[in-house]
Amino acid sequence: MFREPTWEKTIDTNGKGREKAMSRTNVEFLPRDAVHQLQMERLQMTLNRAYFNVDFYRQRMDNLKILPEDVALLNDFRAFPFTTRQDLADHYPYGLFAEPLKSIVRLKISTPGLGDRGKPVVIGFTRHDVAMWQDLMVRLFQQLGITDRDIVQVAFNFSLFPGAFTFNHAAELIGATLAPSATISATMQLQIMQDFRSTVLATSSAFALHMVETMERLGFTGAELNLRLVMLGPDPLWEETRERLENGFRVPVYGLYGVAEMVEPGIAGECSAKDGLHLAEDQFLVEIVHPVTGEPVPRGQEGELVLTTLTAEAYPLLRYRTGDITVLKESPCSCGRSLARITPVLRRTDNRVSIRGISLYPENVEEFLTSLDPDLQDIRLVITTSYGIGEHLEILLARDPARPFPEGNRSQYLDSMRSHVRRALGFGTKVQLVDFERLPKEGLIYKTVFRTLPPLSSPE
- Rounded to whole angstroms, the Cα distance separating 214 from 201 reads 15
- Rounded to whole angstroms, the Cα distance separating 190 from 192 reads 5
pLDDT range class, residue 4, cuts 50, 70, 90: very low
pLDDT range class, residue 261, cuts 50, 70, 90: very high
Contact 46, 308 (CB under 8 A): yes
pLDDT tens-digit map of 317-343? 999 999 999 999 999 999 999 999 999
Proportion of the chain above pLDDT 90, given as a percent: 79
pLDDT tens-digit map of 164-210? 899 999 999 999 999 978 778 999 999 999 999 999 999 999 899 99
pLDDT at residue 151, rounded to an integer: 98
Tell me the H-state helices in 319-433. Answer: 362-372, 410-425
Smallest Cα–Cα separation from 337: which of 36, 32, 4, 23?
Answer: 32
Whether residue 21 has pLDDT greater than 50: no
Global confidence as pTM: 0.88
Mean pLDDT (whole number) for 442-450: 92
- Rounded to whole angstroms, the Cα distance separating 272 from 254 reads 8
How big is the chain by its Cα radius of gyration, in Å?
Answer: 23
pLDDT range class, residue 112, cuts 50, 70, 90: low
The CATH topology of domain 129-270 is Rossmann fold (3.40.50)
Burial environment of residue 208 by CB neighbours within 10 A (0 to 12, 13 to 18, 19 or more): buried
Burial environment of residue 117 by CB neighbours within 10 A (0 to 12, 13 to 18, 19 or more): middle
* Alpha-carbon distances, residue 126 vs 21, 42, 101, 163, 294 (angstroms): 15, 17, 9, 16, 32
pLDDT at residue 159, rounded to an integer: 74
Q: Which residues pair with 225 in a beta bridge?
A: none
Whether residue 157 has pLDDT greater than 90: no
pLDDT range class, residue 113, cuts 50, 70, 90: low
Q: Which residues pair with 277 in a beta bridge?
A: 270, 342
Contact 270, 256 (CB under 8 A): yes
Torsion (CA) 306, 310, 312, 315 in degrees, nearest 10: 40
- Rounded to whole angstroms, the Cα distance separating 434 from 454 reads 25
pLDDT tens-digit map of 231-251? 999 888 999 999 999 999 999
Of 112-121, 212-221, 270-279, minimum mean pLDDT range:
112-121
pLDDT at residue 458, rounded to an integer: 42
List of residues 6+ apart from 168 with CB closer than 8 A: 154, 178, 180
pLDDT tens-digit map of 69-92? 999 999 999 999 999 999 999 999
DSSP 8-state secondary structure symbol assigned to residue 136: H
CATH 3.40.50.12780 residue ranges of the chain are 129-270
Q: Which residues pair with 369 in a beta bridge?
A: none
Smallest Cα–Cα separation from 136: which of 27, 12, 286?
Answer: 27
Whether residue 117 has pLDDT greater than 60: no
Longest CA–CA span in the chain (Å) reads 79
pLDDT at residue 425, rounded to an integer: 86
* Alpha-carbon distances, residue 111 vs 56, 115, 161, 314 (angstroms): 21, 6, 11, 19
State the pairing for strand pair 358-360/353-355: antiparallel
Contact 53, 61 (CB under 8 A): no
Proportion of the chain above pLDDT 70, given as a percent: 92
pLDDT range class, residue 35, cuts 50, 70, 90: very high
CATH 3.30.300.30 residue ranges of the chain are 354-452
CB atoms within 10 A of CB 122: 21
Q: What is the mean pLDDT of the chain?
A: 90
Handedness of CA 253, 392, 166, 108 (dihedral sign): negative
Q: Which CATH number fits domain 354-452: 3.40.50.1220, 3.20.20.70, 3.40.800.10, 3.30.300.30?
A: 3.30.300.30
Residue type, 257: Y
Whether residue 390 has pLDDT greater than 70: yes
Whether residue 3 has pLDDT greater than 80: no
Mean pLDDT (whole number) for 357-376: 92
Burial environment of residue 355 by CB neighbours within 10 A (0 to 12, 13 to 18, 19 or more): buried
pLDDT range class, residue 382, cuts 50, 70, 90: very high
